[in-house]
A = this chain, B = another copy of it.
């Protein structure tokens, strides 16, 4: 039912999605839908909440698997974001594209999830700074701002890709995007990081 709702919200946007269509997509009746979710708002809130849960679980897993190195952990978090949302395009659209148009509450929920990831990345950046993994910085790095910029860049690329405005497959895009991000924070890119970025197999 949440899947059907996510699909319809992703296809139409919140305002244009009709409860009728969602019910049809979920193979139930409108009454059945309303038995589980009192309002349309509660429905999208549930969709967003579940997307957040899925993301959280997978990112936590991937970061644990990435070990202790903060750069590897941040990389794991971001690449998991990309992997997960590219595998669930409708979640990607619900999370990435539904900024206005939906209700204030839904927007708030999406923002909260994004802020959560910004905080995770910012923490790793702080660790990296403390460990001296970031070099050659001409000016002090603001971990919060940088984290938000990273997440924003990833989100923007996902958005462009979900809208079909980037032709290359995401698997080809992320490595290059990763280099841009790491370079932007002054991380030394070493050859082995290039060839063995992180264990992708553990994230599906």
Contacts and interface: CB of A to CB of B under 8 A. Distances in A.
Contact of A101 (B102, B159, B176): B102
Given A101-B15, A111-B165, A179 B139 contact: yes
A177 B149 contact: yes
A149 B191 contact: no
Interface of A is mostly: helix
A200 interface: no
Interface residues of A, number: 50
Contacts of A173: 145
A3 interface: no
A157 B152 contact: yes
A18 to B, nearest CB: 12
Interface stretch (A21-29, A50-58, A65-73, A182-190): A182-190
A20 to B, nearest CB: 11
B145 A152 contact: no
7 contacts: A13-B15, A14-B101, A101-B101, A145-B176, A145-B177, A148-B156, A152-B160
Interface of A: 10, 12-16, 93, 96-102, 107, 111, 115, 138-139, 142, 145-146, 148-149, 151-153, 155-157, 159-160, 163, 165-166, 168, 173, 176-177, 179-181, 183-186, 189-191, 194
